[in-house]
Structure 1
Amino acid sequence: MKKNYTSIRKLIPIIILALFALILISACGPVKKNATGLEDEIFVIADSVEFEELEASLLQVFSKIIYTPQPEKLFRLTRKSINQIESLKKKKNVIIAAPLNSGSLTSNYINGLLNPEVKKIVEQDSAYVFNKYDLWANDQLVMVLTSPTIEQLNKNILNGHENLIHNFQTISDKRLFKSLYNAKYERKDLEAQILRDHGWILYVQADYLLAMNKPEDNFVWLRRAVNTDMERWIFAYYIENASPVYLNADSIQVIRNRVTEKYYRSSDNQSFVEISDDYKTTNEVNFLGRYALLTQGLWRMSDKTMGGPFLSYTFYDEDTKRIYMLDGSLYAPKYEKKSIIQQLDVTLSSFMTKKDMSEEKIEELMDELD
């Protein structure tokens, strides 16, 4: 009996530790899972009658058509009832929309989400959108859209279209970068070569090739899936001792056409890539904390034999006194292109100058050259 008692005494500290760990886990609450679903799908929780009145505005904002050159919707909207909310708590993109005090089930749910101070702001029409990140799942955006009346809500949605789209695009890019980045498949050898020769890097996935490296011309060209029906091109070009006065739409088109005419040529050297006049836009954006111009549109061969979408960031970097042009193009005639262009966009956003990098990262890459 004494032997058994001694054994039990030895187990007491272990039991206490186990109970303490269990208490800690319980205190932390349930672990959130990663949000699931398609990047371009938004589930809209709304009363059926109210959704009929909001649908046109929501479609105009979130489902606008982009041309690649085939028409593709930016986001696809799927309406769901508030009674289906449990099945939507794991989804990536969710909108909950209703007037604040309409009496609908969705309106009542929104009232339960917002505290009294926030409701007063809504009633004064001083705010209409409330973003809740990671509400039920990791990397999730739940956007609450509400106003005093259905008419005012429609108006606010249309007036705030750029910010509404930006919120979903930003979190989508964040999720996409997480899925693309993998240190195991990172071409650190190519990144190191680019850093050594040019003083900046992009994240280079394992299946990209360094097609051209011209330090004397300030030019780098990366290619993926060469000579296939889903080929991707990334180039970076920069101008030394530059002035930001060159940051305008006309100059950007001239510079890009000059670069692609020189380097993006057919195998027989008879034709080259140029910007098509169709669907071309240039907008001011914040690119990694820098003022930049984002140009989007279509490229084509000069003999009109092939083409596809492209996007290009052009910006002035104060530290290096350079104007950079970071450009991604896609040739994928048999496929939808919107999601692949987004991948190119996310890759371009991995840009860092040497000054942006830590000493540890620089040393790690330079070791690849030894």
Structure 2
Amino acid sequence: MNFRFLNYLLAGLLGLSIFSCGSEMTSNLSPTPAAFGKINSLYVIADSTLWLDGAQDSVAFFFESPYLILPQPEPIFDVRHIEPYNLREEPTLQQLRNYVVLADLSQKESPTTKMVVEDLSDARIQQVKEEGFGTAVARNKWATGQQLIYLMGRNQAELLAGMSTAYPAVVKRIAERENERIKITTYFQGVNRMLGEKVAERTGATMDIPGGYDMVPVESDDFAWLRKKTKNGSLNIMATRVPYEDQSQLTKEGLITIRDQVGREYLSTTLDSTFMKVNDRDLPFFVSTTELNGHYALEGRGIWEMENDFLGGPFVSYLINDEARRQLVLVDGFVLAPGRKKRELMEELVQVLQTANVK
């Protein structure tokens, strides 16, 4: 029992290291087609009996939790359950990118268990049976660019308990791979160096601005607003700088104050007395500390709204401490997309904002 407890504890502490090199395999079958599928899609392979007897609820809790933070909830992954026979009957299901395989090894006649036993070594299967729970990763089993993450339990109880420990590493692993696809999508038109230089002139911060953005004409020496038109809306990036006064600026309240000042001064609609502000009444405003390209920063995620108008949407902010210049640099991205899903739009903005640097 102590060894099993240590196994669970190490999985939680080491994150992605639970997927050791010895637990990964790569199919040598060649040639294989290229994997495809929508960004942030996840397919869970499991027997229907296991799925209906507790696994479905666990998967929903761990892999369909809300993406932070959107006006209407959207999951971090779009999950679909399939069974092994679906893979045989619909060959295209073998050409997707991300799979999680759930196996209760006590069910020897289970199609999923048989698939896992065929895929993994006898030593790995025996280790799971001895320890109670284990993981493995396969790459390119049916198509190039795909991964299968195996979550296996000696029995159903061990499987579900192990999932509660392993899921943060699974989510991180899938998200990092999807992040690569989002970056390619974000910069498919290249980088607009000219706009990046204009932002740097006004704020002291460099950013890799993707093609497709235009600068909104604003009379200011220390504020820049960039906009990319989308279907029925826009993606927006703004940057500004303020003098560093004291540590209270690098707090949740300080970030709201700076962002609201920008919204009141520069962002309005055609209606009178309108301005943008943070709405932390209807939904929470999440703030965390981070390091952005070697600089201390606050990350804030929340909802914006227009005072005296009916517009709103999600935003993400980074407030960077530019110690060399004794100033704070705010880089912010917000989405205006009424009636549209916004998860991928926000992820695109995060890609850009995380290139921000003060040199």
Q: TM-score w.r.t. structure 2 length?
A: 0.76
Match of 2:185?
179
State the Cα distance separating 1:36 from its structure 2 match: 0.9
Establish whether residue 37 from structure 1 lines up as the match of residue 37 from structure 2: yes
1:221 has 2:225 as partner:
yes
Deviation at 1:165, TM superposition (A): 2.6
- Whose relative contact order is higher, 1 or 2, with alpha carbons under 8 Å and at least 6 apart? 2
Q: Distance in 2 between matches of 1:310 and 1:37?
A: 27
One-letter amino acid of the structure 1 residue matched with residue 267 of structure 2: Y
Question: 1:210: which partner in 2?
Answer: 215
- C-alpha change, 1:84 and 1:306, in structure 2 (3 Å) is same
Instruction: Report SS of the residue matched to 1:314.
Output: strand
| Mapping 1:310-349, distance limit 5 Å | 310-316=315-321, 323-349=328-354
Match of 1:95 among 100, 110, 132: 100
Q: Which runs of 5+ in 2 are unaligned?
A: 1-27
Question: Which one is further off, 149-158 or 192-201?
Answer: 192-201
Farther off after superposition, 90-99 or 192-201 = 192-201
In structure 2, distance between residues paired with 1:240 and 1:117: 61
Cα deviation 1:198-241 (Å, max 9, x = unaligned): 44432323321112577743x32111229x83122111234556
- Measure how far apart 1:150 and its partner are: 1.7
Name the SS of the counterpart of 2:74 in structure 1: strand
Q: Residue 243 of structure 1 contacts residue 323 of structure 1 at CA under 8 Å; is this kept in 2?
A: no
The 3-state SS of whatever aligns with 1:146 is strand
SS at match of 1:98: strand
Aligned residue runs from structure 1 range 207-356, under 5 A: 207-211=212-216, 216-217=221-222, 219-225=223-229, 229-239=232-242, 246-267=249-270, 270-277=273-280, 278-280=282-284, 281-284=286-289, 287=292, 292-316=297-321, 323-353=328-358
CA contact (8 A) 1:93 1:140 kept: yes
- Matches of 2:325 and 2:111, distance apart in 1: 56
Q: Which moved more, 1:52-61 or 1:110-119?
A: 110-119
2:161 aligned residue: 155
| SS of corresponding position for 1:231 | strand
Q: Structure 1 vs Structure 2: percent identity of aligned residues?
A: 22
1:72 maps onto 2:78 in alignment = no
Determine the C-alpha separation between the residues in 1 that align with 2:215 and 2:350: 18
State how far apart, in whole Å, the 2-side matches of 1:294 and 1:145 are: 32
Single out whichever of 102-111 and 168-177 deviates more from structure 2. 102-111
CA distance 1:108–1:92, change in 2 (3 Å): same
Q: 1:150 to 1:283 in 2, by over 3 A?
A: farther
> How many pairs were matched up?
324
* 1:143 aligned partner: 149
Once residues 29 and 215 of structure 1 are traced to their aligned partners in structure 2, the CA distance between those partners, rounded to angstroms, is 59
Larger Rg: 1
CA contact (8 A) 2:133 2:159 kept: no
